[in-house]
Each structure stands twice: as C-alpha cells, then as structure tokens.
Amino acid sequence: VCEAPIQFMPLIGWYRKLVCHDIFVWRSFKQDSPTIKNNIRDFHTADECRMLFLSPEGIVVDYGEKDREYISECRQFCIDQHYLPFEYVLTPRYKGSMTLLEQVRHCKGPMVSICLAYIRDGKLLNCSLISPHRVVPDIYTLNQGCGSYPVDVYIHLKRMHIAQDMNDPKTFMMENYQEKDQILAEWQRQLDARTASEDKWMNQFTLITNNEMECFCYQIGHLVMVVILSVLLNRGDTFIRLFGSIFCLVSGCHTIGWLLNSTSTESVPFETGIKAIALSIEKRKKYCEGIKKKL
C-alpha cells in the first residue's frame, strides 16, 4: 500500500501498478475506500495470498512549508484527542487503515506492527520531526558507498490483536503510534547516553543485515553478462549509449528535484524530480491564483 503518485513513476511504478497490483491511495478516505475494497476483493476472488505492508501515516514529510504545516496539524490532532503531541511520528490515517484491516481480518496470517530505527554513526536519522538534524532515509541514503558511514536499520515487531478493537479504530491506531513514538524517543535517549548497545535495550530489536559481498557479486556479474552479450552481438556502441542515456536520465532527474526541493525523496527512480516538478507547478498555480484575487 503506497501513495498514488508512485504508480506514475517510470519502470518500477508502472510495474507495481500493472504487474503487482499494489494498492495506491490518495490519502482521501472517500476516494481510497472503494480502491482498497476492490483490490482486496479481486485477490480474495482469485484465492491469492499475499503480504500487505502499509504505512498508516500515509506520507513522508520533508522540509518544505507544506511539510511543516502537516507536522503542526498532526501535533494539534494529538492535543485534540488528549494525547501528548507525537515528536517522532505522524498521526495515523485510521479510517483508510481500518478499511483495509476489515477486509483482511479473517485471514489466517498474523498482523504485525513495525517500527524502524535508522542509525548512522551513532545518531538516529529519523529523530524528532522538528529537528534540523533529521534525515529522511531514501535509496541514496541506504546505498551510499564506502566513503560514508553505513546505515544500520533496527526493526521492532509487535503482534497485533485487532478484532476486539474494531469498534474504536481511532484509539487503536493512536495508541499504537504513541507506542512507536515512545520507542523512537527512547532510542534517542539511549544514543545520547551511549547505552544503546546494552543487551537489555538491544534485545527488543533485530538488526536488518545484508550480504554486501553477495550484492557486489550480483552487480559485477550483471555488468559482465551485459558486456559479454554486447560484444558477442557486436552492439558495444549501443550498450554505451543506452547506459549513458539511463545514467543521465536518472541522475539528471534527481539533480533537478534536489535543486527545486532541496532534498532527496527517492524511494523509486525519478521520484525526487517528478515530485519536485509537481510541487513547483502547484506552488506556481497558487501564486497566480493569489495574484488574480488581489487584482
């Protein structure tokens, strides 16, 4: 389950839409509820099992004006619901999330709440939402080369029992997110006190490990195979032009997005550039509308 604009991203977005049949939502309950129900019904009709992963907060906030406004709205919502304002997480979009859970509540698989902590060089990247030191991890952050500190990802899992809480989805979701906020706040305290490595704390989490050597071997093997094929087929010049074109497209789109939006939001290729351009067009429209109203 992911935000709707992802389906328009070249290659991976199209694949997720046309092949994977992922659930794309616009963060509007009236618009998303039929989409969720139809998608789940299709998989039930086909008797097809799958794993569903959703982020109930529904958005990743960066550093723009709209992002700061949304953080303020989430904090105010907490106050209105008699909770202390969340410092590390946004408030969940409980209506759409519970619509999804209602469709799968009778399935045999477990439901698990996930909280991730991104640590680099002893610092929590997903620290307080209003902190100037907060880093939003994307594919560039997670795949930085040997010249940078690696990012360690720790995962906290909790089995959820939702059947008895379906009549009050707001409280169910808010309490779950309050717990996640407390987990990340405690991570920050442990790191500041340099006690995060103690077993009593670390036993609650699992470090997501990767096999770097295997990854490098796959990448090198893929490159060697493509080069050999291009030589055997006498298409070396075509290979160079194709590789150069793809590199320029991906890097150019990302650079344009970075310049326009001052941040990288690359969960799939081209996302940073396309989102930044869309936001710039939206800002331009609002600016023109404001000028027309004044006139």
Closest by CA to 108, choosing from 47, 39, 174, is 47
Q: Would the pLDDT of 82 be above 90?
A: yes
- pLDDT mean over 178-197: 93
Alpha-carbon gap, residue 237 to 231, rounded angstroms: 9
Report the pLDDT value the prediction gives residue 53, as an integer from 0 to 100. 82
Residue linked to tokens 């989430």: 74
Alpha-carbon gap, residue 60 to 173, rounded angstroms: 18
State pLDDT tens for residues 157-168.
Answer: 998 876 555 667
State pLDDT tens for residues 83-127.
Answer: 999 999 999 887 777 777 766 666 667 788 999 999 998 999 999
Report the pLDDT value the prediction gives residue 104, as an integer from 0 to 100. 65
pTM of the model: 0.80
Q: Would the pLDDT of 247 be above 80?
A: yes
Alpha-carbon gap, residue 277 to 279, rounded angstroms: 5
State the chain's mean pLDDT as an integer: 85
SS3 helix, strand, coil % of the chain, rounded to 5? 55, 10, 35
Q: Would the pLDDT of 221 be above 90?
A: yes
Report the pLDDT value the prediction gives residue 101, as an integer from 0 to 100. 72
More confident residue, 186 or 111: 186
More confident residue, 116 or 9: 116
Report the pLDDT value the prediction gives residue 163, as an integer from 0 to 100. 57
Alpha-carbon gap, residue 96 to 83, rounded angstroms: 21
More confident residue, 118 or 200: 118
